[in-house]
Every structure is written in C-alpha cells, then in structure tokens.
Structure 1
Amino acid sequence: MDKKAIRNFAINARNILIARVSAKLAKLGVTESGIDETTQIDSSLIEIKSNGERFVGKDIMKRAKLVEELQKREAYSGYKIAYQTLIEEVAYTWFNRLIAIRFMEVNNYLPDRQRVLSSESVGKKEPDMITNLLETNLYQEFDEKTKEKVIELISDGSAQAVDELYQLVFIRVCNNLNQQLPNLFEKIDDYTELLFSISYIDDNGVIASLLTIPEEDFDVQAGGQIEIIGWMYQYYNTEPKDKVFARGNRKIRADEIPAATQLFTPDWIVRYMVENSLGRYYIDQKLANRFETRTEKEIADSFGWKYYLPSAEQPEEVQLQILDERKNKSDFALQEIKLLDNAMGSGHVLVYAFDVFIKLYKEEGYSEREAAELILTHNLFGLEIDKRAFQLAYFAIMMKGRQYSRRILNKKIKLNVHQFINISNISDEFYSRIEELSLLDQSRFSDTLNRFKVLVDKFEVATELGSVINVTDVNITDVEEFRNLINVFPEFSNMDELYAIPVIHQQLNEMLDIVTIMIAKYEAIVTNPPYLNKMSGTLGSYVTKNYKDVKTDLFSVFIKMNSDLLEENGYAGFMTPFVWMFIKSYEQLRDYLIKNKSISSLIQMEYSAFEEATVPVCCFTIKNTQLEPVGNYFKLSDFKGGMKVQEEKVLKGIQDPEVDYFYQTNQENFKKIPGEPISFWVSEQLIHNFVVGKRMDEIVNPKQGLATANNNRFLRYWWEVDLASIKFDATSISDSKKSGKKWFPYNKGGSFRRWYGNYDYVVNWENDGQEIRNFVDDKGKIRSRPQNTDYYFKEAITWSDVTSGDFSMRYREFGSIFDSTGHSAFSDSMMDKKYLLGLLNTPVGNYIFKILNPTIHMHIGYVSLFPTLFNLNNDKLIQRNVAQNIDVCKKEWLSEETGWVTFERHPLV
C-alpha cells in the first residue's frame, strides 16, 4: 500500500470535512461561542438573527434536532466540548462513508454497479453514477418531485447545480446502503444531512484527495486489502492524537480516549497473534484425533501460517499428561470456536481471523459461501468504545464476507460486534410500560427489575469504561431473564414513540448483547488493548476499585481480564508495552500469569521498533493451563531498523530455531528472580546466583532522596552562585543547621559516568531547607518531599535514575544532599561500598540490571535486588582497584568539568 498517500489523504480529509462542517454550522447560527437566536418569519420559515440566513420546511426541524443534540451533550461535557465532538462526529461519519463507498465501487460491490466517486473511464472526472443517473435503479426510486428536481439540476449545469445534484445522489446512495450495511450507513434524515457538503468538481476537495490513492490498494482481486480501511482510520487520528499528548502530563478526558489509545496493529503482528492463538487451538484439537498423522508444523504449513511457532518441548512428564488429555477430547465443531477482540478498533484482528477461519472451514469440507456466513454469525466477536472505529470494523468484516459470498449483503446478517453506548436516565414511562405488559407476578417482576437496574447503572458511562465494565456478577441466565423482562412489546404505540420507548428498548437489547459477549468464555482472545495510565477521574477510580492488582495501566487490566475469559486450554494473544515484563508496578500481574497460565510465546522488540506506539512493545500469547511451563521467546532488543527488521528476525527464528536470539525457557525460573521479571534469556547458573546470593540491600541501604517540587527555583549550577555561600563539608543535618550557609552540594544523578563525577548542582537548604519544606502549589498543598534526611551529607555510592545506555555507579564524598533521581546507597563500611561499586560497574553488573529492568529507569528497588556472592577476604584486590579508579576518574572529571574556567575555581579542588 502507498501509506504516504493514505496518510496525506486521511489528515487532509479530516481538516477539509471539519472546516466545511464548521462553516455549515455557522450558517445555522451555531458556533463555538454558542447558539444564535432565530426569528420565526412564518410557520415554515425562520431566520438566524446573527447572519440573516433563512431556512424552510424540513430544514427547520433538522436544525431543531441539531440544537437539541448539542444541549444534550452540553449537559454531560460542557458546551465547548459538545460543539467540538459534534463536529468531529459529523466529519468522521462522512469520512467513513466516503472510504467505504470507494472500497465498494473499486471492487464492484455497489448495488447499482455504478461508481459513485469516480469513473471506470480513465481521465473522466464525472462519476459514472451521475453520467448514467437517469438509467439507474436509484433514479427510478425517486418520487416525482425529486425526479423533477434532478432534471432541473442536470439542465442547469452550473457548478452550484452540479454540487447540489451530487449531494442529493450521494445521500440517497448512503440511505440505500442502509439495507445492506445498517451499522455504517444509518439512514440520514436529520442535522447530519444539513451539515453535509461534498463536490467531485473541486480539485482540492475530499474526493479529489481520495482518488490520489492508487486504485489497486483497494482492489482485492489485484492484491489490495481491506486493511487499508484501518490505516486510514489510524492516520485520520494523527492530529487529534498529537493534540492530546501535546497538552503534557495530564489525565485523558473521556472524549479523548479513542484518539489517545487507538493504534493500528502491524499486519505481521496480527498474523502472529491469530496464528498462535486461534490457529494453535485448532491444531491442538486436530492432534487429539487419533487419525491425524501430520505433525503440528505440517498442519500449520498446509495453511500457509508463516508466523506459527511450533510448541516448545515440554518436560517428559508434561508430555505424558498432554497425551492423556488428548485421549479424552471429543470431536469439535468449528462453529463452537469463538474468537474475541474486546478492543477491536477498526477490526484488523477480526479481519485476519476471518481469513484463518475460511481456511479452517475449507479444511473441514465447507464451501467458501457457507463458511463466510457461519464465520460472521458464530465465530467472530468484537467490542469497541469508539463509534467511528466500530463502523469501520463492521464494514471491514462485512466486506470479507462479501469477498467470499456475493449475496451475503442481502441476508441481513447481524454481526457479533458492538459499540458501547452510554445508557442513562431511562424514563419512568419505560419501566411503567414493561410492568403493564409483564406476565410475571409482582414479586418476581420487582426482583428482576431491581437486578436489571443494577446492570443498567453500570453502563451509564459505557463509552468511557468500555470492556473493563465489571459484569462478573451476571450470568447467562440473568441475561435471558432481563431479555424476557423488556421484550414484552407486541408493537409500539404512538404514545410509546412520544416517550422514545422504542429507542430505549433497542439500546437496552444492544446492552444485553454486549453483556452476553462480556460474560462468555472464548477459545481465542486476541487484542492490542489501549495503553493508558493517565486515566480520567471516572475511569481511574473505576479501575482502582475493580482491578486493584493490575490498575497501573489499561493494558494490564485487559491482560488479566482476558486471561480470565478463556476456555480451558484456550489461547490469548496481546500486543502491549513490554514494561509489564519487568517493572515493580506490574509484579502482581506477572505473578498471576506465572502461577495460573502458561506463556506460550513472546517477542520482546527493540526499544523503538513500533514508532506509532511511542513506547517499547512486546507481543505474546498465553495458554489457559498450568500444564505447559516451557515457552518460545524472541529477544529482538539488539536489532534496530523498525518493524520490518523485527519481522524478518522472527521469520528467520521460526525457520532456524538455532539463532542466538531465540530461547525456550521454563517460566518456573522466573519465580527464582526477585520481582519475577520475564527475563527468559537468563542462564541456569545466573538464576542459581539469584537463589544463593545476598541481595544488595542486605549489605548497604539504598535510599531515595529529596524531591524539591520545583527544581528551577531551588537548584543552581555550582558556578551560578557565590562560592562563599556554599557549604562544602557538612557531614550531617545538624552540621548543616549550624553552617549559616544557603547552598549545599546536590547529587542529582546526571549523565553516564563511572566511579566519580557529576558534582554539578547546589540546592537551597538554608535553615534546614525551610523554604523547600514549606513550598506549596497553587492549591496550597505541600509538594516537596525531603526523604531520608538522616542520610543527607553522608558518604555514598550513587547512580542516576535514567539510564538510557549502560548502568554506571559513582562514589560520592561526604557533604551532599541527594535527589530523588540521584539514588544513593549507604553503609558504615567503606569496604562494602567499594566492593559493590566495583561489582556493579562491571559488564556483569550491567547485564544483571538489564535482567531486572531493561527500561530506562533504574529505581532503588531494582538495585536492591542485585545478587552478590559476598566474600571480602577474597576481594581486597577489587577494592584496591576501585580506589584507584575513583582517584583517576576524579581527576579526569575535574579537568573536563572546568575546562572553560580556571581549574583553581572549582570548589572541590
């Protein structure tokens, strides 16, 4: 695909559509400042007071609906956000429809077989639908008044008439497609139509931009892929995402979650996850058949699964257990294998899963046409909070069905994919009506209704919480009871319509469909979950309350939640940041997985391989069993070059397991390393050292120091202040109190440097840090944290919090206060400090720290875990060499640091 053209189109199209929707709103008297008043000229004519624009007939009602919708949103989010989100929603509605129609016309899927955006004749600008309009079924469906209007516009021929005709035709095409694709092409008869503006004669318009994308990128017969829809959505979100993160370190609002979290998963990773979850589950079932003579790899190869990893060899006793289990397995039906993506985005995972299922059904003797319908109705399940992504996922899956079954769009198939909607303020009239029509006795009705209301309350902010809504207290019997409770209407009366009861009824049934998906068990779950730790207040509180052990980030919630949704021996595949493998805040998640699941395979990628994610990532699969502890692992952290290089290395490793970055590891070993990091490349000997060695914090006391809350205010470089105001030789807090000095040497960590150095800063600790201790923010809250003050000014070994390269540790003389990022370790024994300084500055020390935490942060917790085989009597030579290194590096550092000033001025000389 020409991703540059796709990116340019998506970004450009969004800006054009938003500008035109905004302009249309302004004509309607709706701006970011508010809603203008209108003057009623007569019963069918109004005028906008601010600009004099007039509207007649149905347009008056459409404007009224627009105002009503804005006011409804305003009550939830405030007017400005309501205005912005409405513009975004209308813009992406038309964007989605444009790219869907483009895909359908290129593949000849449109009902009239006439191109709506382009022409099959090269160089012809007028779409075939317009050229041949009078001969189409579309024209025949127009009423007489509309036909007259069409003829009038054709005869006029002016640019304005051409655009008006085209908009009329385009809207009717969209409305007609509602019959085949109702969840994307909702019928338009409201304010959305008022805000629509499109032109095929505008060389700078959206259509002209869309047609710059090579046609073959859409054409499935020419090698094009429905994947293009997902990339368009990804790039459409480029500017909204940049805008969210440009606002700095703050919580993400509910309306910003989609832009902040939607990432289009690279194709090869989707294939890896699906093949090693759904594909592996299928192969497990096949191998249980005593008549199956092929090996696991031979079966995978027969389907062309390039990214399938044959199972790791298990211990002998485990292999015997697996064979026993397989003997007890009965035949399986493909229709019973369910795959879920509960953060489906634009549907990339489900689309590839469709391709895999097609092959499985053909293997079992089904025709493609029969298989396509079964897959759509039985095998694929998806959930999403973002309406635009849901629409595109729905469309992409339906297009896969259309690829294999020509008539499938006319079968009114209801997919098992859904978008969360907020459900609140259910009217009393609705509950009164179902009570009137219910056949339940009063006691049973009241009990069922009360339980139902508890469930409904959980969906009040469903578009913010999405799949993390906790429905573990609901079972399938409850759902059926609730359906029976509300599905009591033989038909809806005019009074029902007045109170919007049909709409409420539909929403509640949709909610129950979603709950049914959320409580089911699955043979395969595959997702690239949202990465979000700066959650909104509502979402953050909910996650803390319901998922306390994995609350650090949304992706960790999904890992735990989805692991619990697997059938026995089912598989889950994830693409997530790799921090869960190492850092302390995910230790409970690691412990849960290691004790309760089997890590089947894992690919740890190079730090910046996935540029779109802006965080280092991994992808992995787990099996819902405790039986298979040995897994397949790839360590790709040394291979730069982006996703293409990572993919090449994985493919090479699958073909040649002897490569030095492929490992097969028993996850029981992870328990032997403090913190249980997923350090799969560690040797048995080093694991033994962790078991028998002393932790570093048994020898010295690692501590975190002062956090000033405002470094710009309280810190200076040593040369920025009067040397006479600096206290260089304090040895304790009491010594500093007596000094009468304002500035004291400050250990802030700093750049990579071993043995000695980074004496760059001084801190305002006048009167025992009085100003820092009393520093408050705008809300009057004290933000500074003078931690571990008893250790201030003491001799220490120290290291920097941020270590983007190798680890480095330094000796720090008496006289400094240490920072929260200038971590330090203390001991009364100089011998202990020198021994550890020598040990931790070696390549071995650096290697072990990469095991404990290969991220850029080296907190005191990780250094505390370092294993030492401590024997001072045999290590006097190490200590002597350390002392020499400190002395040499002190001189080197002083010389470098003072190169631009006189050497004698440095306070340490």
Structure 2
Amino acid sequence: MLSTSQRRLIENVVLRCRKVLEEDFDRLLRIYGFTSEKVIEEDKVSQDKLDIRKEIEAAIEREGKDYKIARRRYIKYCAFTFLNRILALRMAEVHGLIDETVIIRAEYGDRSKRERDLLDKNSELVSNPEGLAFKALEEAYKEMENYIPYLFDTNDPYSILRPSLTAYRNVRKIIAELPDDILKEFETVGWAYQYFNNEERKEIRKKMRGSPSPDDVPPINQFYTVGWIVKFIVHNTIGKLWLETHPESGLELNYLVPTRSRLKMPEKIKVEHIKVLDPACGSGHFLLGAFDLLFKMWMEEHPEIPPWQIPSLILERNLYGVDIDLRAAQIAAMALYLKARTSFEMFKEEGTEFELKRINIISADIHFVDGERRAKFLSQFGYERNLRRIVEETLRACENAFEIGSLLRIRQPFERLFESRKKDGWGKVNLVQSQLTKFIPEAIPKEYTVEEIVKKIREFVREAAQSRDMGTIFFGLDAERAISLVDVLSDYYDAVLMNPPYGATPPKCKEYARKYYPRTHSDYYTTFIEQAVDLCKPGGYVGALTGRTFMFLKSHQKLREEVLRYDALPEVVLDLGFNVLDDATARYAAFTLRRKCDEDINWEEHPVTFLRLTDYAWDEKRVKFEEILEELEGYGRRNTYLTGWKT
C-alpha cells in the first residue's frame, strides 16, 4: 500500500505531465488549422499537413457538435493517452518485461537502451534525435499492442498527433522522478488515473448545479478504492462462494466475516466457469484483487496446469470490466496485463512465452456520428437476416452508451436475438419425434455470433486503414466496442464487484434511468445496485462500496423494500461514514448482497451482519475491522453481530 507521501509524488508528476502535454497538443492543433475558436480554411495550412489535418478533423468531429468543447476534449484525451502509454512502458521496464524505452542512462549516451540498440543498427539516426526517439517509441508500442490493444492501438484517434521532441523529453524527465518502488506497485496506475483530473474535479464541484454533463462524470467519480476494502469485498463474495462449494478447500480468507445465511449456490462451481464483473471498473482495482484469489483457486482445482499458464486463463475466462471512460479502460487493461505478466514471469519455465488472447475490458465511450458509414457497414451482413438484425440492434442500443454505460438494459432483448439465430439447413435430431424423422434447427452459440461480427468489423477497419479513411476507422472501433458491450451486458456473473458513480446523473442517463429503473433512479449508485443484481447469477454475489444513504433515505425505500427484500438479500454491511476515499467528501458503506436462488427464503428470517466503523478515521477503520474479526475468531465466530434488515 502506497504511503501518503508516495501518492502526493504521483499526483505532482501526473499533473505536471498533463500540463506539458496539453500545452504542446494545443500548439500542434493550431499548426494544423484548429485554433481555440474556429477551424481555419485548408488553403491557409501548409500542403504537407493536409492529410493529417483531415484525420484530426474526423477525430474532433467524433468528440461532439460543439467545436470548442470537442477540441478541449480531444486535447485532454490525447494528453491522457500519451501519458498512459509512457507510464505503461515505464512500469513494464521496471518489471523487466520490455527493453528500457523511456528511462535514459548515461552509459547509453543519455539515451534509452532501446534507442542505443536502434542507433547501433541505424547509424544515420545519430543526426535525427527526434526520429530516433519516436522510432524507439513506435517499436515499443507495437510490442505492447499484442497484449494491450486498447491502449496501444495504432488506429486510436488520440494517437494521430505525437508531441514534440521537447515535450516528450520533459515528460520523460518528470516520469523519471518516480522511484522503482512506486512503479512496481500495480496501484500506481490507479492513483495516476485519479490524480490526472484532480484540479478539474475541484472546478466541476464549484460550478456544478443540477445534473452533471457526461464529461463531468468521470472526473467527479475518479476515486481509488483502498486495498483493505477491496480485500473485504473480494473475500466475502468470490472467496465465500468458493469455500461454500469446496468445503475441502485450503483457501485462507482472513477478511471473511462469518454469517448464518441459508442461501446457497445451487451447484458446485468450477474455477474455469467463474465470471466476475466490475461494471464501473475505473483503474481495475477490484479485478486486480480478484486476480490473486482466482490464481489460488486455479492452483487448487487444477494442479495439472503449469502455474505459468494460469495468469492468461484468469484474464481470458474470469475477469470482465466496463467503464464509461476510455481512459479508465486503458488503465484497467494496463494494470491487468502487468499483473498477469509479472505472475507469469515468477513461474515461467525455460522456453515458455507469455500468450494472451484477450483482456475483457470494455469502454462504453461510443460515438456513432455517420449514418452513411453505418449503412455501408450493415450491408456486410445482408447474407443473413437474423445476424443483420443483431448488428442493427447493437448499434441502436449503444447510440447513447457514452452517457448510459453499464446501465444499458439489454440482456433480455439480446438473449432473444441471439437465441433466434439458427444454423442454415437442419440441425440435430428432435429425439421426441425421431420416429417421424423430424428435425429442428440448431441455435448458433452467442460466442460464435459475437466472434463472427467482430471479425467483420476488423475487416471493415482494415480496409479503411489502407486508405486512411479515419471516419470509417473510428466508426469500426466504436462498432467493436458496441458488440463487446452487448456481449458483456447480456451475460450473467457469479460476482459483480463495484465502486459505482454517485449523485446526480447526466440528462440522457437520467431520462433512461427513469424509464428502465423506476425503483432506483433517484441516485446514480442505487441504479447501479439494481443493475448489478440483475447481472448476477442466482446464488451469486454483489459486492460494493457506495454511499450509505440507501440504508435510510425515503427516496431509496423501493430499493430496500423490493430489491433488497426479494431479489438480493444483504449479508454483511460495513457502515464506514467519512474518510474512506482520498479527497472524497461523501459518507460510504461497503456491503455484500446475495442473489436469491431459493424463493422459499423469507427476508425477515435472513440475518445481516452490521459493523459500525463511522467513528474511526482513515486507516483506523481497517485496524478496527481487523480487531473485530479477531474477536469473532476468539469467540469461535459465534458472536456475529446479527440483526434483521431494517427498511
């Protein structure tokens, strides 16, 4: 766990880098004819810059109709993307995963090792320091793109511009102030994500009246969940499910709170089938916490699998995350890759290589702006009516995903759409009527349908990339995010873990919530609770850190009386109060809910464990929580502070 002084250093480094990069990107946009007030005519821009200008124009248009706002957004996200990449490379360097590319050393002539090696092969670069620096970066980007395409995608709209050599050198110099012990901590990327918007968050709070804009939502909700709360939630959800269905397990859960619940999983759960979702994943801290526990489960259940193969299996099969902010998705994907890769390095055998098919992190930052390209894209699916309908409905459902995100209510309609797609010709025998030699068509698995659509999307993007048709490329990237979002939100999960946004919702999201979440729409986080329950399997868990107002405000009465009585019953509640998240001013609660799978259980007979930690400051809450657990252990875990749930 990083100390306060270490976190303050990260904050200082991140904010200084942001200032350098935003000033540089602002200057570059002016060179290409995009001033802060207007777009200058093409004939006033030098001829050699027109091709890139067209790409930038398409990228800024994607950010929205208001030019000034779109330009500011574009500068901000270009800066954040470049900083994320540099930070990812630097952390990978410190972990020994790639050749040093960012850090410079005197023994290499004040260059990085990768630059030195490139110079040995291309001596002509000695007179072209800018070419050398960015050629080394591009080489490192391609290496990392194999594992984190979300962050290192060559078609990313925020990588069209590259900063000047002067700005890049300044960023390298500032990043070098972070010592190796900080860079080796996976939580560093989470703090970097939070601190990037620190000053902006303060300004938003000062000016905000009523509902926030979509751009305001990420900054005002970027708070890194502290490690002990993550551990509490992970142990009392995924860990508890495992011990319940594997009583012989040797898994140690020192943050497990004893309960007397009669809710049970209907069948034994296999580790390869466990699915964990964070629908507001931010920097991925809950998923990182789940990784450690899942690794032990894989080792326990599958001793025949070499440990070095397990990290990739966890990322491919067990962990899923969604965030409305692309920058958050980039950070989460980066953190999970570093976690999996360093675990692989600990256990690898001679001759083995790290292989990763995918990271299941999805951004809902989707902006469809071109009807003509949509029609062209849909024409690829004219060969099958049902498949085209799935694609059409995906694009329609995700038109406002950048505001609604994980709150999209799409599972039930898309379940029917996926089930309606049948194989051509005749499928398996209908055994009931086999004597009549009648057959029924076989449904095509959802997974195959999604893969087929994604393959078509990538072909679409590949063709556009050859002609540098950026508008079509951006449409394709958004289409892939849309089908991935539908895929994730039309599934069920054994555990849904989250620290969702709170407070007022953006206008379109508010309107959507009133229609689809009539019981819980009064606060952002309570709407997320209802959606999390809906995404959870019977017998599974929701674990969350949210505001505590759901326990007593009248506006949340339907959540208590309906969702928490009949859909998912509370098991453990930590009443935390203030001083929970760095710089956050709200009062919080951490809790677990159990999705009902036995309709005969009466909520009034279901015990809930409450622990009041409101009187303690910051880390004192953790200390007191651990003391309570020790006390429960000392009493044979008989005294469990049980009480009935109050509405």
Q: Report the CA distance between 1:190 and its aligned residue.
A: 7.4
Cα–Cα, structure 1 residues 131 and 78, in superposed 2: closer, same or farther, change >3 Å? same
Q: CA separation in 1, counterparts of 2:150 and 2:341? A: 16
Match of 2:144 in 1: 177
Q: CA separation in 1, counterparts of 2:340 and 2:260? A: 38
Indicate whether 1:369 and 2:308 are aligned: yes
Question: Aligned to 1:20, which of 1, 24, 38?
Answer: 24
Question: Aligned to 1:347, which of 272, 281, 284?
Answer: 284
Question: Aligned to 2:236, which of 262, 276, 296?
Answer: 276
Match of 1:633 in 2: 610
* Higher helix residue share: 2
* Matching residue's letter, 2:227: D
Match of 2:40 in 1: 36
Q: Report the CA distance between 1:615 and its aligned residue.
A: 0.4
Residue 77 of structure 2 contacts residue 158 of structure 2 at CA under 8 Å; is this kept in 1?
no
Residue 21 of structure 2 contacts residue 167 of structure 2 at CA under 8 Å; is this kept in 1?
no
* Matching residue's letter, 2:546: T
Q: Report the CA distance between 1:468 and its aligned residue.
A: 0.6
- 1:65-80 aligned at under 5 Å gives the runs 65-73=55-63, 76-80=64-68
Q: CA separation in 2, counterparts of 1:648 and 1:171? A: 47
Match of 2:434 in 1: none
Q: CA separation in 1, counterparts of 2:534 and 2:406? A: 13
Residue 366 of structure 2 contacts residue 481 of structure 2 at CA under 8 Å; is this kept in 1?
no
Q: CA separation in 2, counterparts of 1:388 and 1:264? A: 14
Q: CA separation in 1, counterparts of 2:118 and 2:544? A: 49
Residue 338 of structure 1 contacts residue 523 of structure 1 at CA under 8 Å; is this kept in 2?
yes
SS of match in other structure, 2:293: helix
Question: Aligned to 1:619, which of 570, 576, 590?
Answer: 590
SS of match in other structure, 1:166: helix
Q: Report the CA distance between 1:595 and its aligned residue.
A: 3.6
Cα–Cα, structure 1 residues 497 and 541, in superposed 2: closer, same or farther, change >3 Å? farther
Indicate whether 1:218 and 2:183 are aligned: yes
- 1:71-150 aligned at under 5 Å gives the runs 71-73=61-63, 76-110=64-98, 113=99, 115-119=100-104, 125-135=110-120, 139=121, 147=122, 150=125
TM-score by length of 2: 0.84
Q: CA separation in 2, counterparts of 1:107 and 1:377? A: 22
Residue 548 of structure 2 contacts residue 577 of structure 2 at CA under 8 Å; is this kept in 1?
no
Q: Report the CA distance between 1:5 and its aligned residue.
A: 0.8
Match of 1:244 in 2: 204
Q: Deviation string for 1:410-444 (max 9, x for gaps)?
A: 6351122211142535645765675576444xxxx
Match of 2:571 in 1: 600
Q: Deviation string for 1:28-47 (max 9, x for gaps)?
A: 332211122243xxxxxxx5
Q: Report the CA distance between 1:552 and its aligned residue.
A: 1.1
Q: Report the CA distance between 1:542 and its aligned residue.
A: 1.0
Q: Deviation string for 1:751-776 (max 9, x for gaps)?
A: xxxxxxxxxxxxxxxxxxxxxxxxxx
Cα–Cα, structure 1 residues 559 and 309, in superposed 2: closer, same or farther, change >3 Å? same
- 1:499-514 aligned at under 5 Å gives the runs 504=475, 507-514=478-485
Indicate whether 1:416 and 2:353 are aligned: no
Indicate whether 1:152 and 2:127 are aligned: yes
Residue 531 of structure 1 contacts residue 555 of structure 1 at CA under 8 Å; is this kept in 2?
yes
- 1:539-554 aligned at under 5 Å gives the runs 539-554=509-524
CA RMSD of superposed structures (Å): 3.2
Q: Report the CA distance between 1:465 and its aligned residue.
A: 0.6
Q: CA separation in 2, counterparts of 1:167 and 1:81? A: 30
SS of match in other structure, 2:311: helix
Match of 1:577 in 2: 547
Cα–Cα, structure 1 residues 510 and 438, in superposed 2: closer, same or farther, change >3 Å? same
Q: CA separation in 2, counterparts of 1:433 and 1:264? A: 39
- 1:809-820 aligned at under 5 Å gives the runs none
Q: Report the CA distance between 1:606 and its aligned residue.
A: 3.3
Q: Report the CA distance between 1:462 and its aligned residue.
A: 0.7
Cα–Cα, structure 1 residues 417 and 610, in superposed 2: closer, same or farther, change >3 Å? closer
Provide structure 1 residue ranges, at least 5 long, that are not aligned to the other structure. Answer: 40-46, 49-53, 140-146, 154-161, 220-224, 671-675, 677-909
Residue 476 of structure 1 contacts residue 516 of structure 1 at CA under 8 Å; is this kept in 2?
no
SS of match in other structure, 1:542: helix
Q: Report the CA distance between 1:148 and its aligned residue.
A: 6.8
Residue 25 of structure 1 contacts residue 195 of structure 1 at CA under 8 Å; is this kept in 2?
no
Q: CA separation in 2, counterparts of 1:62 and 1:585? A: 52
Residue 167 of structure 1 contacts residue 197 of structure 1 at CA under 8 Å; is this kept in 2?
no
Match of 2:195 in 1: 235
Q: CA separation in 2, counterparts of 1:429 and 1:116? A: 39
Match of 2:560 in 1: 590
Cα–Cα, structure 1 residues 479 and 508, in superposed 2: closer, same or farther, change >3 Å? farther
Cα–Cα, structure 1 residues 555 and 635, in superposed 2: closer, same or farther, change >3 Å? same
* Matching residue's letter, 2:612: K
Q: CA separation in 1, counterparts of 2:113 and 2:371? A: 48
- 1:763-842 aligned at under 5 Å gives the runs none
TM-score by length of 1: 0.61
SS of match in other structure, 1:612: coil
Match of 1:60 in 2: 50
Match of 2:425 in 1: none
Residue 95 of structure 2 contacts residue 342 of structure 2 at CA under 8 Å; is this kept in 1?
no
Residue 224 of structure 2 contacts residue 582 of structure 2 at CA under 8 Å; is this kept in 1?
no
Q: CA separation in 2, counterparts of 1:149 and 1:451? A: 53
Q: CA separation in 1, counterparts of 2:549 and 2:401? A: 28
Cα–Cα, structure 1 residues 199 and 509, in superposed 2: closer, same or farther, change >3 Å? closer
Residue 180 of structure 1 contacts residue 410 of structure 1 at CA under 8 Å; is this kept in 2?
no
Match of 1:556 in 2: 526
Cα–Cα, structure 1 residues 65 and 609, in superposed 2: closer, same or farther, change >3 Å? closer
- 1:492-531 aligned at under 5 Å gives the runs 504=475, 507-531=478-502
Residue 180 of structure 1 contacts residue 409 of structure 1 at CA under 8 Å; is this kept in 2?
no
Q: Report the CA distance between 1:70 and its aligned residue.
A: 2.4
Q: Report the CA distance between 1:664 and its aligned residue.
A: 2.2
Q: Deviation string for 1:179-213 (max 9, x for gaps)?
A: 342221111697835341244995xx222221112
- Relative contact order, CA 8 A, sep 6+: which one is greater? 2
Provide structure 2 residue ranges, at least 5 long, that are not aligned to the other structure. Answer: 422-445
Question: Aligned to 1:207, which of 152, 169, 172?
Answer: 172
Q: CA separation in 1, counterparts of 2:512 and 2:225? A: 27
Q: Report the CA distance between 1:511 and its aligned residue.
A: 2.0
SS of match in other structure, 2:102: coil
- 1:674-685 aligned at under 5 Å gives the runs 676=647
Q: CA separation in 2, counterparts of 1:349 and 1:335? A: 19
Aligned-pair identity in percent equals: 22
Of structures 1 and 2, the larger Rg is shown by 1
Q: Report the CA distance between 1:464 and its aligned residue.
A: 0.9
* Matching residue's letter, 2:214: A
Match of 2:441 in 1: none
Indicate whether 1:357 and 2:294 are aligned: yes
Cα–Cα, structure 1 residues 424 and 667, in superposed 2: closer, same or farther, change >3 Å? same
Match of 1:906 in 2: none
Q: Report the CA distance between 1:451 and its aligned residue.
A: 6.3
Q: Report the CA distance between 1:502 and its aligned residue.
A: 7.3
Q: CA separation in 2, counterparts of 1:629 and 1:226? A: 38
Residue 126 of structure 1 contacts residue 200 of structure 1 at CA under 8 Å; is this kept in 2?
no
Q: Report the CA distance between 1:374 and its aligned residue.
A: 1.5
Match of 1:860 in 2: none
Residue 394 of structure 2 contacts residue 486 of structure 2 at CA under 8 Å; is this kept in 1?
no
Residue 232 of structure 2 contacts residue 256 of structure 2 at CA under 8 Å; is this kept in 1?
yes
Question: Aligned to 2:270, which of 333, 345, 362?
Answer: 333
Match of 2:428 in 1: none
Q: CA separation in 1, counterparts of 2:108 and 2:453? A: 56
Q: CA separation in 2, counterparts of 1:10 and 1:495? A: 35
- 1:838-853 aligned at under 5 Å gives the runs none
- 1:307-326 aligned at under 5 Å gives the runs 307-310=255-258, 312-313=259-260, 318=262
* Matching residue's letter, 1:465: I
